[in-house]
Amino acid sequence: MKSKELINHWQQWLSTSDKLLRVLHEQTVAVTLRDVARVEKLQPSFEELMAEMRTIDEQALDSARRLAEALGAEPNIRGLVAVLDKNEAQQVQQIANKVTASAQNVSDVVKKNKKLFESEMTYINGSLTLIAKASVPRKRGPYKPRVARAAVLVDAAA
């Protein structure tokens, strides 16, 4: 099987994307519940899994390029599928479809969580604005009583 290395990289990528999706869904719950400690606890896992997926993606890309060069095909899925035997081409196409669907799913959840974070920040900003406005005394109208100012220092002779 000529594409075994590429398929292995993609299977590893799919496994990592499943782990990432679990972390993202936990993050969604934490943001929805406004559990800051839980969000902060999940952040290192999120960053680690994203870095791992980038690494695997680069390895798969290198593997696909080497395979395309060895087979004299275009460096894309269609080119690889066209030159592989039927059975192997079907396997490559199936796993490529799974990777594409999983990547779209991860992207959608990341976008949803980003919108949740933005919504929470807007909510917090609005709350802080209301608190700040409430803490500053407002003028009630033209007949506002004057504030009596007391002398801070008293003359010793007085």
Res 128 pLDDT > 90:
no
Phi, psi of 109 (to 5 degrees): -70, -40
- Max distance between CA atoms of the chain, in angstroms, equals 109
Is 25 in contact with 94 (CB distance < 8 Å)? no
Phi-psi region of 39 (alpha: psi -120 to 50; beta: other; left: phi over 0): alpha
Averaged over 36-60, what is the pLDDT? 95
Q: How many CB atoms lie within 10 A of CB 51?
A: 10
pLDDT (tens digit per residue) in 62-105: 999 999 899 888 888 888 888 889 999 999 999 999 999 999 99
Q: Which ranges constitute the DSSP H helices of the chain?
A: 4-32, 36-71, 77-83, 86-135
Nearest to 100 by CA among 43, 60, 49, 45: 60
Averaged over 25-44, what is the pLDDT? 93
Domains and CATH numbers, the chain: 4-135 (1.20.58.300)
pTM over 0.85: no
Higher pLDDT, 37 or 125: 37
